[in-house]
């Protein structure tokens, strides 16, 4: 599970994330939405251990990220918005690199890597250099790599960018199935339909503060828009 306590990040005079408190329990898919520049990616980077908070704490499965960063990171599968990878490695070599970093056993790796490559339709290109991959293929490879060590927590920034409709459907089903198996998923997205479809709870961040949080129904109630869709709720809450 993920626990954020008084999480704050400031860049000189700008408060990017302001006193964020949140608990995402085990097995939940939490959608994190907000306008551009609201603080979504900053929050995600702090949860992933890529960025140190100015104050506050990030707990991953009960492990304090600041005190035990390596242990906490070992529990996470991180999928960034833009799939920047080592272009001179092949897809398979990249998976091996990640598996070695996360301590996945050799035998497990062989099985897992093939399974993930098949799942993300990358088997035919596994021996090609990543520099020859399309954007969507790189995005799929990042996802495959993030899952190769069976993480307990999955942090995803804009998971559907660059994916074709088939892949989007596959990823949605995959996330649901992983959550059922006990994985905690924290997902930032602008695709409100995806958030509405698969998230158990949704949080709306605006100007660095969490302005609303709950199930889609809770949010509609908060916004007095019972019959509206999530898009209208989002517009209503962020324009206030």
Angle among Cα 73, 77, 83 to the nearest 5 degrees reads 115
| DSSP letter string, 68-123 | SHHHHHTTEEEE-SS----TTSBHHHHHHHHHHHTT--HHHHHHHHHHHHHHTT-G
Binding to other proteins, residues 106-165 (CB under 8 A):
129, 131-132
Is 82 a residue that touches other proteins (CB under 8 A)? yes
User: Are 35 and 206 a contacting pair, CB within 8 Å?
Assistant: yes
Region binding other proteins by CB under 8 A among candidate stretches 19-27, 79-87, 197-205, 232-240: 79-87
By the rule CB under 8 A, 88 interacts with other proteins: yes
Q: Which is nearer to other proteins, 50 or 211 (CB)?
A: 50
Residue nearer to other proteins on the CB measure, 96 or 206: 96
Q: Report which secondary-structure segment, H or E, holds 194.
A: helix 192-198
Find the radius of gyration of the CA atoms of the chain.
18
Q: Is 91 in the site for other proteins (CB under 8 A)?
A: no
- Tell me phi and psi for residue 158, to 5 degrees: 50, 70
Among 162, 96, 165, residue whose Cα is nearest residue 134? 162
Stretch of 69-77, 111-119, 185-193, 229-237 lying at the interface with other proteins (CB under 8 A): 69-77
Q: Is 76 in the site for other proteins (CB under 8 A)?
A: yes
Residue 186 engages other proteins in binding (rule: CB under 8 A) = no
Residues 193 to 222 in contact with other proteins, rule: CB under 8 A: none
The correct pick among 26, 66, 86, 150 for binding other proteins (CB under 8 A) is 86
Least spacing, CB of residue 71 vs other proteins, in Å: 7
Shortest separation between residue 74's beta carbon and other proteins, angstroms? 4
């Amino acid at each position: 599970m993920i626990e954020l306590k008084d999480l704050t990040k400031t860049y000189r005079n700008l408060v990017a994330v302001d006193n964020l408190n949140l608990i995402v329990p085990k097995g939940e898919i939490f959608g994190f939405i907000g306008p551009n520049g609201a603080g979504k990616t900053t929050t995600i980077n702090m949860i992933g251990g890529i960025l140190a908070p100015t104050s506050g704490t990030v707990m991953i499965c009960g492990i304090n990220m600041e005190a035990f960063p390596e242990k906490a990171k070992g529990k996470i599968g991180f999928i960034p918005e833009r799939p920047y990878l080592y272009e001179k490695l092949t897809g398979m070599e990249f998976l091996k690199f990640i598996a070695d970093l996360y301590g996945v056993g050799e035998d497990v790796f062989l099985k897992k890597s093939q399974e993930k490559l098949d799942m993300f339709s990358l088997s035919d290109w596994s021996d090609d250099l990543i520099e020859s991959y399309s954007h969507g293929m790189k995005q799929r490879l990042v996802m495959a790599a993030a899952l190769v060590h069976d993480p307990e927590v999955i942090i995803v920034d804009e998971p559907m960018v660059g994916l074709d409709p088939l892949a989007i459907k596959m990823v949605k089903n995959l996330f649901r199935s992983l959550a059922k198996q006990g994985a905690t998923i924290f997902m930032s997205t602008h695709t409100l339909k995806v958030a509405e479809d698969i998230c158990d709870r949704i949080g709306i961040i605006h100007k660095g503060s969490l302005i609303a949080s709950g199930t889609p129904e809770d949010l509609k109630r908060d916004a007095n828009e019972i019959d509206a869709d999530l898009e209208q709720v989002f517009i209503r809450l962020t324009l206030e």
